[in-house]
Amino acid sequence: MPYLDNFNRPISYLRISITDRCNLRCVYCMPPEGVSWRLHHEILRYEEIELIVRAAASLGISKVRLTGGEPLVRLGFVEFVRMLARIPGIDDLAMTTNGTLLAEYAAELAQAGLKRVNVSLDTLQPERFRQITQRGEFATVFEGIYAAREAGLVPLKLNTVVVRGLNDDEVVDLARLTLEGDWHVRFIEWMPLGTNAAWASDGYVSVGEVRRRIEDALGELMPAKVGVGNGPARYYRFPGAVGTIGFISPISEHFCYQCNRLRLTADGRLRPCLLSDYEIDLRTPLRQGADLAEIRELLIRSIGAKPERHHLDESVSPRERAMSEIGG
């Protein structure tokens, strides 16, 4: 059974950033001045992450999601997936990616034990894709999406961060994909986080507004379920549609009451809450020889430190890290 926090929430999910590096520079993710990459020795080694995951599994954590930066830019990632897939108790191993390298690795990742992927995709327009990401090719991402589906990494979800004046005019087009096939599109409210918190102060769009725009154009949405990996999203579909539409609302309708996750940064800090700067250092104890039992106790301490909720609605947001350093 998962370990309970102080608010009786079962903690069953660990999100792991394996690198702070990325081959894109999405405008809402990285600060305008860029970031200073962590030095090689500051990043957790794969063996250190494996020990943390083993400790987490002993506390009932069964779901692991690998993120970055962009996880596929780190050398040896496929073998690392294979390492984690062998850990008893980890029955849902997933990845969030920008999709640019997915065509190359999808088949190998599926063979190694990865179950599912989420792909970040904020536009269906190739020119706008370059504007938002500041590099990369839209066609390459879609090649990766189709390769992942062919490899069985499903249900594959498309994550769209909606920002007014940047891509909010495309929400209907993205929603229309779910009428055309087995697409699972999720609309996410932009969150002020880190040094780019003020980047789009007037760009916030609530999922309530997104839903109204979609229903005005395409008709009423009905509640739906996605087989695995529902997380905080609320899912809907159009009558007769195969695909689904998800809404993730960390600001307008926060889901802290059901939060079941911890986050591990690439440099070995455990964050009980994405939207708080509080962290527990795991890297130092690991490199001082901490064993599984000691890491387990640090995980328990982190679970005990989970706050009841975030305070974005009171203009209190974390400032110490950019999203690219945490992994979302």
Query: Which residue from 93, 105, 99 is spatially nearest to 50, judged by alpha carbons?
Result: 93
Per-residue model confidence as pLDDT tens digits over 262-286: 999 999 999 999 878 899 999 999 9
3-326 CATH: 3.20.20.70
Kindly report the backbone phi and psi dihedral angles of residue 247, in degrees, each rounded to the nearest multiple of 5, phi listed first: -125, 130
Kindly report the backbone phi and psi dihedral angles of residue 141, in degrees, each rounded to the nearest multiple of 5, phi listed first: -65, -45
pLDDT of residue 313: 54
Per-residue model confidence as pLDDT tens digits over 143-161: 999 999 999 999 999 999 9
Q: How confident is the model at residue 232 (pLDDT cuts 50, 70, 90)?
A: confident
Q: How far apart are CA 323 and CA 318, in angstroms?
A: 10
- Encode burial over 161-200: b for 16+ CB neighbours within 10 A, e otherwise: bbbeebbbebbeebbbbbeeeebbbbbbbbbbbbbbbebb
Give the residue extent of every domain in the chain.
Answer: 3-326
The mean pLDDT value of the chain amounts to 90
Residues 6+ apart with CB under 8 A from 35: 20, 322, 324, 325
Q: How far apart are CA 91 and CA 113, in angstroms?
A: 10
C-beta pairs of 43-47 under 8 Å, 24+ apart in sequence:
43/18, 43/19, 43/266, 43/267, 43/268, 44/18, 44/264, 44/266, 44/267, 44/268, 44/282, 44/283, 44/286, 46/18, 46/76, 46/79, 46/80, 46/83
Per-residue model confidence as pLDDT tens digits over 296-321: 999 999 999 999 986 555 554 555 66
pLDDT of residue 38: 86
